[in-house]
Chain A
Amino acid sequence: MTDQKTQFYFEIKDLSVGFRTFEGIKPVLNIEGLRINRGETYGLVGESGAGKTVLALTILGLLPKPAGMILNGSILFDGVDLLKQSEKQMAEIYRGKRLAMIFQDPMSTLNPVFTVGQQIERVITRQEGLKGEACLKRSLELLDMVKLPDTMNLIDKYPHELSGGQRQRIIIAIALSCGAEFLIADEPTRNLDVTIQAGILKLIDELQRDFKMSVLFIGNNVSLVNIFCRNAGILYRGKLVEEGLSNCVVQNPLHPYTQTLISAIPRSKSEKLKFSKTVIKPEAENGCPYFSRCTIGKENCSMHVPMLREFRTESSAESLNDIQNPVQKAACFYAGGTI
């Protein structure tokens, strides 16, 4: 029984995170379940403010204190509840060693007063105990690994002398310097232009294959997630509203939010962009988080919170054989036309 539970490499159970405000504790994240297998990529999509970054920080135990609070739930990583680990244990065992994170804004993730080399070497010295020549050699190896040219010259530059793409590659190099098994990539391509985005994604993809890492990829672009990740989850106002194989989610969205999200992708010049006017209804205090913007919601949507339900649709046929994720899930009473 317990074996069955721990077979998931990474699992979030009933996680609920809130922020303390002067009006009391405001819940910002409510995730019933999220599972990632070893070596799998999971894409989490959501609009800004949905709680994507809060989730990433919660996993690493870096929620801003004292405002951020974990109200409930557990995050199991390789059988260990990360939320029960002390700050010291997190710093010594998990952060940087087993869990790594790439942050969203490459422009501000490197310390501006040190050269790239100093920053990489510091991490290597601490984590691997290398010094001097060996340390320099290892740093150059890492920069090679992320496919940066002219590493010998680059290593003595300050972050402000580098472009966004170069910086993001360096950040990836630092994050992966210690052979992490689980990578959280929080919008790694934000603030980068499209060609560089492609390069960075390709790099993360290759590294994921080479090192057989599990990746939690956070983004606000469904198409990117579809290309890059096996599974996808759609986060809306702190709740998972849809989950499934990423191409199923994209091709056959079940939740009305996902449907709007996907129809918002511009396809071609001939097709005129349509922005449907959203009728903003009053918020449903105890109901579906999407109620106020939903076009198909009925009265009962404002009374009960829909849970994630399993659906079997045509395009999810392929995934039916998969034991871990047999179906597509959506949290809506009227999802996919079935009730």
Chain B
Amino acid sequence: MTQNSNLLRAIQPAVRELKVTFYLLNRNLLQRISMVIILLLILIAIFAPVIAPYPGHAISDTNPKDKLLPPSRQYLFGTDELGRDLFSRILYGTRISLRTALLAVGLALLIGAPLGAIAGGLGGIADEIIMRLTDIFLSFPPLLLAIAISSFLGPSLENAILAIAISWWPWYTRIIRGQAVSIRERQFVRAARAIGTPLPKIIFSHILPNTLAPVIVQASMDIGGVILTIASLSFLGLGAQPPIPEWGLLISSSRTYFLNAWWYSTFPGIAIFITVMVFNLIGDGIREVLDPRTRKF
């Protein structure tokens, strides 16, 4: 009972803030639409096996007698060269894209955020070493680095996630480090030290949480970018391998039939376009909410 009320007390303020955020996001029509679409995408990802008319087509089943049929009532988005229902495959693709994007961004944050906080919070040699390391990573064009890493690790979806995380973390490190340097000089950090808080605790429980706002914005916008990068890697044959219904891979395999089967490349393309766009829009919205100066009332 007391345990329960303690837990409730701990999350209550966070819930209140979340409600405010939600309310603010909800006032802008574009952001409201984005939120609905993201919710829809998440639902699709979760319930893909239930919604998809031909769940078997997503992975292994083939249906050569119906190959390359245009959109119809039976096959909403048409079929591919093996007669598989594109609609089902794209629904399953949502699952893959969202999961890989979240994993890649999460992994990049997991590497980048602590390093940025340490660099900004400690300063000195640690700062120098970490920042020069990010400079090295940032001097490669991002897609090229991801291509290099995933071709080195061998083409698979997991390796593509790893490759993207490795080429993405320096951005978060830079953002957090920049914030941390200015937050380190703030009064409350000094006050925390004055009551005897040890330095690691100051870095991770005082400085880091205060740097997160711009990183959350960046990360939510990056989800779109990462989906695009995963699609690009798969398109180049370095990401998901057939028969995984990854959107980029779908477009890649549609190349051969591009002139005869417009639906084959169009629908996965639209799926990528919508997903990337809503994540960018929601990122913008979150920035507005987190930064009162850009709030529109």
**Residues of chain A having any CB pair with chain B under 8 Å:** 57, 60, 62, 91-92, 94-97, 100-101, 103, 105, 108-115, 117, 122-123, 126-127, 132-133, 136, 156-158, 171, 174-175, 178
**B9-A101 in contact (CB<8A):** no
> Complex formed: what's the CA distance from A164 to B29 in Å?
37
Would A103 and B190 count as touching, CB distance under 8 A?
yes
Report if B210 contacts A (CB, 8 A).
Answer: yes
Cα A283 to Cα B191 with chains together (Å): 36
A132:B2 contact, CB within 8 angstroms: yes
Known A-B contacts: A62-B194, A156-B13. Give 5 more (CB < 8 A): A95-B193, A100-B194, A112-B188, A133-B6, A174-B195
Bound Cα distance A34, B195 (Å):
23
Determine if B196 and A95 form an interchain contact, defined as CB atoms under 8 angstroms apart.
Answer: yes
A92 contacts B195, C-beta separation under 8 Å: no
In the bound complex, CA of A178 to CA of B196 (Å): 11
A111 contact from B2, B12, B193, B206, Cβ within 8 A: B206
Q: What residues on A are CB-neighbors of B3 within 8 Å?
A: 132
Q: Which of B187, B194, B205, B206 contacts A95 (CB 8 A)?
A: B194
A interface footprint on B112-131 (CB within 8 Å = 1, 0 otherwise): 00000000000000000000
Counting from the closest, the 8 A-B pairs by CB-CB distance are A96-B196, A96-B195, A95-B196, A108-B187, A101-B194, A109-B191, A111-B188, A113-B209
Q: Which residue of A lies closest to B185 (CB)?
A: A64
Q: Given A133-B2, A136-B6, are A109 and B188 also a contact pair (CB < 8 Å)? A: yes
Residues of A with C-beta under 8 A to B201: 126
The CA-CA distance from A280 to B190 in the complex, in Å, is: 37
Q: Which residues of A contact B190 (CB under 8 A)?
A: 57, 62, 103
**With A and B bound together, what is the CA distance between A113 and B183 in angstroms?**
12
Cross-chain contact of B9 among A100, A122, A156 (Cβ < 8 A): A156
The one of A62, A115, A133 in contact with B193, judged by C-beta atoms closer than 8 angstroms, is: A62
Task: Decide: A103 and B187 in contact? CB cutoff 8 A.
Answer: yes
Which residues from chain B contact A57 at a C-beta distance below 8 Å?
Answer: 190
Q: Does B192 contact A (CB under 8 A)?
A: yes
A126 to B191, CA, bound (A): 15
- A97, B194: Cβ atoms under 8 Å? no
With A114-B209, A115-B13, A122-B205 in contact, is A108–B186 under 8 Å at CB?
yes
Residues of B within 8 A of A110 (CB): 188, 191
Q: How far is the CB of B125 from chain A (nearest CB, A)?
A: 12
The distance in angstroms between the C-alpha atoms of A115 and B14, with both chains bound, is 9
6 contacts between A and B (CB under 8 A): A62-B190, A96-B197, A97-B196, A109-B191, A111-B210, A133-B6
Give chain B interface residues in 166-196, CB to chain A under 8 Å: 186-188, 190-196
- The reply to whether A91 and B196 contact each other, CB–CB distance below 8 Å, is yes
Is the pair B196, A94 in contact by a Cβ cutoff of 8 Å?
yes
Can you list, as one digit per residue, whether each of B209-220 has a CB less than 8 Å from chain A (1) or not (0)?
Answer: 110100000000
* Alpha-carbon gap, A51 to B279, bound state (A): 51
CB distance from B41 to the nearest CB of A (A): 29
Contact A101–B191 (Cβ < 8 Å): yes
Q: Does B141 touch A at the CB level, under 8 Å? A: no
For B2, what are the chain A residues with a Cβ–Cβ distance below 8 Å? 132-133
- Across-interface contacts of B191 in A (CB, < 8 A): 101, 103, 109-110, 171
Q: Which residues of A contact B198 (CB under 8 A)?
A: 91
Q: Mark B221-248, 1 if CB is under 8 A from A, else 0.
A: 0000000000000000000000000000
Distance of A139 from chain B, by nearest CB (Å) = 11
Contacting pair B13 A158 (CB below 8 A): yes
What CA separation (Å) do A210 and B193 show in the bound complex? 26
Interface residues of B in 52-78 (CB under 8 A from A): none
CA distance A121 to B205 in the complex (A): 13
Bound state CA distance, A20 and B197, in angstroms? Answer: 27
Q: Residues of A contacting B186 with CB < 8 Å?
A: 108
- In whole angstroms, what is the CA distance A232 to B184 when docked? 33
Whether the Cβ atoms of B210 and A112 lie closer than 8 Å is yes
Smallest Cβ-Cβ distance to B16: which chain A residue: A156
CA–CA, A111 and B212, complex, Å: 14
Contact A108 B188 (CB under 8 A): yes
Q: How far, in Å, is A102 (CB) from chain B's closest CB?
A: 9
Given A113-B209, A132-B2, check contact A60 B192 (CB 8 Å): no
Q: Which residue of A lies closest to B190 (CB)?
A: A62
Return the chain B residue nearest A98 by Cβ.
Answer: B196
Query: Counting chain A CB atoms within 10 Å of each CB, which of B190, B201, B205 scores highest?
Result: B190
| A112 vs B179: C-alpha distance when bound (angstroms) | 14
CB pair A123–B187 under 8 Å, yes or no, is no
Pair B188/A123 contact, Cβ less than 8 Å: no
Question: How far is it, in angstroms, between the C-alpha of A2 and the C-alpha of B2 when the chains are bound?
Answer: 55
Q: List, in ascending order, chain A residues with CB within 8 A of B12's CB.
A: 156
Contact of A123 with B195 in the complex, beta carbons under 8 Å? yes
A127 proximity list for chain B (CB < 8 A): 196
Nearest-neighbour CB distance to chain A for B189, whole angstroms, equals 8
Q: Which residue of the partner chain, among B187, B195, B199, contacts A175 with CB atoms under 8 Å?
A: B195
Least CB distance from B243 to A in Å reads 46
Q: Give the CA-CA distance A134 to B206 in the complex, in Å.
A: 24
Report the minimal beta-carbon distance from A177 to chain B, rounded to whole angstroms: 8
Q: How far is the CA of A258 from the CA of B190 in the complex (A)?
A: 31
Closest approach, in angstroms, between the C-beta of A57 and any C-beta of chain B? 8
Report chain B residues within 8 Å CB of A126: 196-197, 201
Q: Which residue of B lies closest to A97 (CB)?
A: B196
Q: How far is it, in angstroms, between the C-alpha of A162 and the C-alpha of B13 when the chains are bound?
A: 14
Q: How far apart are the CA atoms of A97 and B196 in the complex, in Å?
A: 8
